[in-house]
């Protein structure tokens, strides 16, 4: 048996094959070393594989999503054999002695440009299809596995670290758990694992070598232990823990449909954090009473160019409509720091966590902000949407955000596009500055939501991404809890509600403190809703004290 120790960041015991994530190299080289005939053959093979994939996708869609999407994939399959497109690729291979990748990429760009320049809006929209088709051919030429995992069976995914944009592309149905050499409890892999309700371990360092790829392992997301081929005694203990976990799950099931209320009648709204519309099923399965944080940046991270207003509108509308009148708080984009997007062409910063990120980008780039706000307000006609701004430090920022909202509402009004003019506006309290001026900020907005991940980082001057800060990164630090109290008092003084959407909100040990502070809402990963409800329903709010705030 081999035991590797890391840090448990998402609870649970799982067993499976360790699979090391291969970072795809998508560099396109022009000159071919193989010659035109071999490149043409490679192209023909990629065509066959792509067409097979598209037929399979169309079949799957026919069963799950309906005919319209299925037809789209069939059309893509037909285009791969389109005479003009194929001729364009083959000519380039022949005339420029280039690789099939280079020829496909070039043909894709040419055809996409041609469609985009057409007058007809329908034909213009086909440019995106051409890019998608070329991307598929390129992936197949370069051996890039869609979803990142070349295994039929679900696996325990191992990696050095995973960037937010990488986790987005992963085929989640193939993942039993995560183990990473780097990362921290606040990394997006950890957040994703908690959303999915699967175990995750980070910070194993080099002890978790690639040589373990393919070996059978057990991971314990509570203790942070990775057992490779465990001995009989360890196996028995792990199995017992696994069974206990299932028992608890059954117990939590009984919490579904019950009210989020203490024994003495104090209601706390238990909402969910999500990263994409894909997470909606987890919200519904876990009986979340709303969405307290929809990290909208997924739309930007998963794209190769700025998502359009329509693309964003469709995503926000889908979430708002699916929640059927329950509150859906959508946070405007929080790019920067660990969430980098190439097409934003941000300058390299020495200290990106304190650089141009989140609301600072939006206020510096009004067009990007306007597009997102228009999509958000349009979606507000389809559910109870609320808009939330991240990384606020000053009152003037909020005023500027509100002016941008007013402008967008006036535009939509004049265009006759429906929206909810009473859409709630809130801000994240995640900087010490916002805590100090919380009284003034509270007068400007409808709610506060405390981002304890960043609030801890900035209050304690501890990088949330670093995994070697150990006990110095302490979200239970009295300074963080006192900040929470200041924000809660300011909110209540101004008559607005306050929630917590950082990871601390799911900590059952702090529930009495939150009740003593009068926190009105906790937004947590979907799988934490039912355990928290169980805890809440056993609590007596009046007896809760602020003991944790003592130094």
Known catalytic residues are 188, 501
Which DSSP helix (H) or strand (E) runs through 386?
strand 384-389
Residues of this chain that bind ligand PEP (CB under 6 A) = 293, 295, 334, 430, 451-454, 501-502
Phi, psi torsion values for 310, nearest 5 degrees: -65, -40
- Compute the distance between CA of residue 116 and CA of residue 123 in angstroms, rounded to an integer: 7
From ligand PEP, Mg ion, none, interface partner of 333 (C-beta below 5 to 8 A by class): none
- Compute the distance between CA of residue 487 and CA of residue 491 in angstroms, rounded to an integer: 6
From ligand PEP, Mg ion, none, interface partner of 76 (C-beta below 5 to 8 A by class): none
From ligand PEP, Mg ion, none, interface partner of 502 (C-beta below 5 to 8 A by class): ligand PEP
**Which residue lies nearer to Mg ion by CB, 74 or 454?**
454
Residue recorded with tokens 């232990």: 225
- Compute the distance between CA of residue 426 and CA of residue 431 in angstroms, rounded to an integer: 15
Residues of this chain that bind Mg ion (CB under 5 A) = 430, 451, 454
- Compute the distance between CA of residue 423 and CA of residue 417 in angstroms, rounded to an integer: 15
Minimal CA–CA distance to 219: which of 184, 259, 179, 183?
Answer: 179
Task: Provide, rounded to whole angstroms, the least separation between the CB of residue 53 and ligand PEP.
Answer: 33
Task: Provide, rounded to whole angstroms, the least separation between the CB of residue 269 and ligand PEP.
Answer: 16
Task: Provide, rounded to whole angstroms, the least separation between the CB of residue 398 and ligand PEP.
Answer: 17
Whether 465 and 184 have beta carbons less than 8 Å apart is answered as yes
Largest CA distance in the chain: 81
Task: Provide, rounded to whole angstroms, the least separation between the CB of residue 291 and ligand PEP.
Answer: 13
**Which residue lies nearer to Mg ion by CB, 270 or 358?**
358
Which DSSP helix (H) or strand (E) runs through 426?
strand 424-429
**Which residue lies nearer to ligand PEP by CB, 108 or 164?**
164
**Which residue lies nearer to ligand PEP by CB, 451 or 512?**
451
**Which residue lies nearer to ligand PEP by CB, 76 or 331?**
331
Which residue is nearest to Mg ion, using beta carbons?
454
Q: What residues does 10 pair with on adjacent strands?
A: 200
Task: Provide, rounded to whole angstroms, the least separation between the CB of residue 489 and Mg ion.
Answer: 22
3-state secondary structure 24-89: CCCCCCCECCCCHHHHHHHHHHHHHHHHHHHHHHHHHHHHHCCHHHHHHHHHHHHHCCCHHHHHHH
């Amino acid at each position: 048996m081999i035991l590797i120790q890391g840090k448990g960041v998402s609870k649970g015991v799982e067993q499976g094959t360790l699979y090391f994530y291969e970072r795809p190299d998508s560099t396109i080289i022009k000159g071919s070393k193989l010659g035109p005939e071999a490149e043409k053959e490679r192209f023909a093979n990629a065509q066959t594989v792509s067409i097979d994939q598209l037929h399979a996708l169309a079949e799957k869609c026919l069963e799950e999503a309906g005919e319209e999407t299925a037809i789209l994939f069939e059309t893509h399959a037909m285009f791969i054999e389109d005479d003009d497109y194929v001729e364009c690729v083959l000519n380039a291979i022949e005339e420029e002695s280039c690789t099939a990748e280079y020829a496909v990429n070039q043909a894709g760009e040419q055809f996409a440009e041609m469609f985009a320049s057409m007058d007809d809006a329908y034909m213009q929209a086909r440019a995106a299809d051409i890019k998608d088709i070329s991307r598929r051919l390129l992936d197949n030429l370069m051996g890039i596995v869609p979803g990142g995992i070349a295994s039929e069976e679900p696996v325990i995914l191992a990696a050095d670290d995973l960037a937010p944009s990488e986790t987005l592309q992963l085929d989640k149905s193939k993942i039993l758990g995560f183990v990473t050499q780097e990362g921290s409890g606040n990394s997006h892999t950890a957040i994703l694992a908690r959303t999915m309700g699967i175990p995750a371990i980070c910070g194993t360092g080099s002890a978790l070598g690639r040589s373990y790829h393919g070996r059978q392992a057990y991971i314990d997301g509570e203790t942070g232990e990775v057992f490779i081929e465990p001995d009989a005694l360890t196996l028995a203990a792990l199995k017992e823990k696994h069974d206990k976990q299932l028992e608890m799950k059954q117990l939590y099931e009984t919490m579904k449909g019950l009210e989020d209320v203490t024994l003495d009648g104090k209601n706390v709204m238990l909402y969910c954090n999500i990263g994409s519309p894909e997470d909606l099923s987890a919200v519904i399965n876990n009986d979340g009473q709303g969405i307290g944080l929809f990290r909208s940046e997924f739309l930007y991270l998963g794209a190769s160019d700025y998502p359009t207003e329509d693309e964003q509108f469709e995503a926000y509308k889908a979430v708002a409509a699916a929640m059927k009148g329950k509150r859906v708080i959508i946070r405007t984009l929080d790019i920067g720091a660990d969430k980098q997007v190439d097409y934003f062409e941000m300058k390299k910063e020495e200290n990106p966590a304190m650089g141009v990120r989140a609301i600072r980008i939006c206020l510096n780039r009004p067009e990007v902000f306007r597009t997102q706000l228009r999509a958000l307000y349009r979606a507000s006609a389809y559910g109870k949407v609320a808009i939330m701004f991240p990384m606020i430090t000053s009152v003037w920022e909020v005023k500027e955000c509100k002016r941008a909202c007013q402008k967008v509402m006036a535009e939509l009004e004049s265009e006759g596009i429906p929206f909810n003019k009473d859409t709630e506006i809130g801000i994240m309290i995640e900087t010490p500055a916002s805590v100090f001026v919380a009284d003034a900020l509270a007068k400007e907005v409808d709610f506060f939501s405390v981002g304890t991940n960043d609030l801890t980082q900035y209050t304690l001057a501890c990088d949330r991404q670093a995994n070697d800060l150990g006990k110095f990164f302490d979200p239970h630090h009295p300074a963080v809890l006192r900040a929470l109290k200041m924000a809660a008092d300011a909110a209540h003084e101004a008559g607005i509600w306050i929630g917590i959407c950082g990871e601390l909100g799911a900590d059952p040990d702090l529930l009495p403190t939150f009740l003593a502070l009068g926190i009105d809402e906790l937004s947590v990963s979907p799988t934490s809703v039912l355990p928290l409800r169980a805890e809440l329903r056993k609590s007596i709010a009046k007896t809760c004290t602020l003991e944790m705030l003592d130094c």
